[in-house]
A and B are shown apart, each in its own frame.
Chain A
Amino acid sequence: MSGPVLEVEALCKRYGAELAVDGVGFRVERGETVGLLGPNGAGKTTTINTILGVLAPTSGSIRVDGCDLARHRSRALARANFAAVYAPLPGNLTVEQNLRVFGLLYGVAGLGARIEALLDDLDLRRFRRTKVGLLSSGEQTRVALAKALLNRPRLLLLDEPTASLDPATAREVRARIRAFAASGEGGVLWTSHNMAEVQEVCDRVLFLSHGRILLAGDPRTLPAEHGKATLDDLFVAVAREPLSIREAP
């Protein structure tokens, strides 16, 4: 299959009178890393939760690697995976036990060999029999990343994967994600509040504000296109004065 790994069309999520996501549409192509940016409450996590199937959209459609999430939930979710700082793995299971349980849930073929490879790739071998709850936050992030890569996902969703990590560990994590995208088999949707990181990692960014995509483009050229010196400045402008920014077509 050669189409996009994620197609979101006219996605809306309403909570009573409040519209948390308002007609969002975008694609993530194979080999591409897309940053989903915006201030707190902009609708990033709501968008990610709908893509993960744990939150039903009010309207709109989501296709993962060509599979419609509403109609073929299991098939679509088998092609995706995620890691988020607010979704810890069970702390009372060891690293290996977590990977085995989630490997079975994702139907990973050759699970034993896959776990061994990920333990090596993410430098987790010495922690394989350590309970995840006993690991440092950086080590837990690596375990979460191992779980997210278990099924060789076509779509990798990462919600602030480097939050609370020290700079060295964050750099390692970014390198892993870049390597995943560079392999060309899958795409990444990444949220972060670290604009330097976004510029380093993302091929394209989408700025969300009040549930709508206000801006989209290359994070390296977008600030200048909107008269801002840095991506940080552009982020602040989107957060404080969204009306001054022209909406993305």
Chain B
Amino acid sequence: MTPLRHVGAILLRQLYLMRGNPARLIPLFAWVAIDVVLWGFITRYLDAVSASGFSFVPVLLGAVLLWDFFGRVMQGVTMAFFEDVWSRSFLNVFSTPLTLPEYLAGLVLSSVATSAVGVAVMVSVARGAFGLSFLRYGAALAPFLGVLFLFGIALGVLGCAIVLRLGPSAEWLIWPIPAVLSPFAGVFYPVATLPGWMRAVSRALPPSYVFDGLRAVVAGRGASAPALAAGAGLALLWLAAAGWLFVEVHRAAVRTGRLARYGAES
């Protein structure tokens, strides 16, 4: 019961903040809606001018939606953590009976709540304006979403560990992570298109397995189960590594005094 209350407290804080200021709600869906509209028109134009008969809508717009989903999940974790950084709450929060797993679980739940809003808007706009329905792919989509979700959580926790270690200003290293990873993850093109060294990097990134598999599903070939399993295994590895790193960084911060004087970090 107590762990649930602890986790609930971290989530409740985020809900209070969103309820208290509508400006916090807008970023949850505004940027993804703009992305969907922009890429929706680009794909519609490509469909019109291309004589190949290739349908760009599910491939490109679908990829944008899923990459945005991953980004929302990651940012959901980091934003909840940054609230404690910005309000200098570490001393108050970490001197309570809250455990680190409970704290991280609270960040993950906050991310689920905030990313759900973004996903609902994305899916609605894509369906209403451009006729892209994910329901068409049914349950086959669930494992792909699951891998992206796990990797988003893992990178979110990794981002929190980096900011805890390097100080508040390091948050600017965290925001561009999805953009930096997207060329390697083969979001818009097959990984085979990449040069050798980029392919080597992409093999370590779970989304590259997801997007290659999704392109196969859209093309009607069906996804490779071993490739999907490899993506899921990698995402779990990333998650375990990120969790371990956060715990170690926190332990070092408690040992060195960085946690107690975090407000003075630049």
Q: Residues of A with Cβ closer than 8 Å to B?
A: 15, 46, 49, 52-56, 73-75, 77-78, 80, 82, 84, 86-94, 97, 100-102, 104-107, 131, 147
Contacts and interface: CB of A to CB of B under 8 A. Distances in A.
B5 A107 contact: yes
Contacts of B254: 53-56
A55 to B, nearest CB: 5
A74 B89 CA distance: 18
B127 interface: no
6 contacts: A46-B257, A54-B259, A75-B97, A87-B92, A104-B6, A107-B97
Contact of B97 (A78, A82, A90, A131): A78
Given A54-B260, A91-B87, A104 B95 contact: no
A52 B97 contact: no
B130 interface: no
A84 B263 CA distance: 14
Given A54-B95, A88-B88, A93 B259 contact: no
Residue from B88, B97, B255, B257 having most chain A Cβ neighbours under 10 A? B97
Interface string B240-266: 000000000001001111011001000
Nearest to B262: A54
A49 B16 contact: no
B95 A55 contact: no
Contact of A55 (B13, B92, B99, B260): B260
Chain B interface main SS type: helix
Given A101-B9, A101-B13, A106 B97 contact: yes
Q: How large is the interface on B (under 10, 10 to 19, 20 to 34, 35 or more residues)?
A: 20 to 34
Given A87-B92, A101-B13, A74 B5 contact: no
Nearest to A147: B92
Nearest to B263: A86
Contacts of A104: 5-6, 8-9, 12
Contacts of A92: 17, 20-21, 87
Nearest to B256: A15
Residue from B21, B91, B96 having most chain A Cβ neighbours under 10 A? B96
A92 B21 CA distance: 10
A82 B260 CA distance: 14
A107 B97 CA distance: 8
Contact of B92 (A46, A73, A102, A107): A102
Nearest to B251: A56
Contacts of A56: 251, 254-255
Interface in B70-97: 83, 87-97
B87 A105 contact: no
B95 A53 contact: yes
A77 B96 contact: yes
